[in-house]
């Protein structure tokens, strides 16, 4: 089943943007429509769009979301819109040198979206900048199994209920 994938990018120096671009390339020809949106200026009503969402964000300060993600994150926390219709995944970029706040940008979004009733598909991909791997390479491997989980999720949701005997 084809679906739209909306990638929301929170970034300070552009690495999360590179990751989103790599995912777009990787999924080209897979029959999905991929929309990549920088989080700047986005409001919680972005989640009214059709499709599945992929939050792709780094971490700054002391475990904060990046500056361009702050307004959206703060608005979700303050307005608390009901998001029970929403299915999402998370790619968190961070660095284990920041042991206490590793990938908190992605983890913060995961926490608030869950609290608002949204359902995460699969495990988060958490990238450690001190690991020696490139996040776009890791994401390129992670994305296909994750998209398969999305298909399962949508297929399962569309399946008719088994008849009660
Ligand atoms: C000033 C600064 C603070 C950071 N704080 C954290 C942090 O608290 N936790 C974490 O996991 N990574 C932290 N990082 C690492 C970044 O999240 C990581 O390098 C990421 O890949 C940057 O991606 P971006 O270019 O998309 O913003 C920090 C990096 C810098 C430069």
Question: Taking CB atoms and a 6 Å cutoff, what residues make up the pocket around ligand 1?
Answer: 11-16, 58-60, 62-63, 66, 93-95, 98, 101-104, 129
Q: Decide if pLDDT at 147 tops 70.
A: yes
Q: Whose CA is nearest to atom 18 of ligand 1?
A: 94
What's the pLDDT at 156? 65
pLDDT at site 2: 82
**Ligand 1 centroid from CA 58, angstroms:** 6
Which residue carries 């969402």 as its tokens? 53
Per-residue pLDDT reduced to its tens digit, 114-130: 999 999 999 999 999 99
User: What pLDDT, on a 0 to 100 scale, did the predictor assign at position 30?
Assistant: 86
Mean per-residue pLDDT for 32-58? 97
Q: Which of 71, 96, 86 is nearest to 153 (CA)?
A: 86
User: Can you give the pLDDT at residue 157?
Assistant: 57
Residue 143 lies inside a defined structural domain of this protein = yes
In a domain, 164, yes or no: no
For residue 138, the domain's CATH number is 3.40.50.360
Domain that holds residue 11: 4-158
Query: Which atom in ligand 1 lies closest to the alpha carbon of residue 12?
Result: 27
72 CB contacts (<8 Å, ≥6 apart)?
8, 10, 39, 42, 43, 44, 46
**Residue 163 counted as domain residue:** no
Q: What's the predicted TM-score (pTM) here?
A: 0.94
Q: How far apart are alpha carbons 43 and 39 in whole angstroms? A: 8
For residue 93, the model assigns a pLDDT of 98
- Total of domains in the chain: 1
Give the span between the Cα atoms of 71 and 90, in whole angstroms. Answer: 18
- Domain-embedded: residue 113: yes
Helix (H, G, I), strand (E, B) or coil at 5: strand
69 Cα–ligand 1 center, Å? 13
Give tens-digit pLDDT for 80-104.
999 999 999 999 999 999 999 999 9
């Amino acid at each position: 089943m084809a679906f739209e994938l909306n990638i929301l990018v929170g970034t300070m120096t552009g690495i999360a943007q590179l990751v989103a671009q790599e995912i777009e390339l990787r999924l080209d020809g897979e029959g999905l429509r991929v929309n990549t949106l920088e989080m700047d200026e986005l409001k919680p009503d972005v989640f009214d769009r059709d499709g599945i969402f992929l939050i792709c964000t780094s971490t700054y300060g002391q475990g904060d979301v990046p500056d361009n993600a702050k307004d959206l994150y703060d608005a979700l926390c303050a307005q608390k819109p009901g998001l029970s219709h929403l299915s999402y995944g998370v790619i968190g970029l961070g660095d284990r040198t920041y042991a206490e706040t590793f990938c908190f940008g992605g983890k913060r979004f995961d926490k608030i979206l869950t609290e608002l009733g949204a359902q995460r598909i699969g495990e988060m991909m958490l990238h450690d900048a001190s690991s020696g791997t490139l996040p776009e390479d890791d994401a390129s491997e992670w994305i296909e199994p994750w998209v398969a989980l999305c298909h399962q999720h949508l297929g399962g949701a569309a399946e008719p209920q088994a008849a009660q005997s």
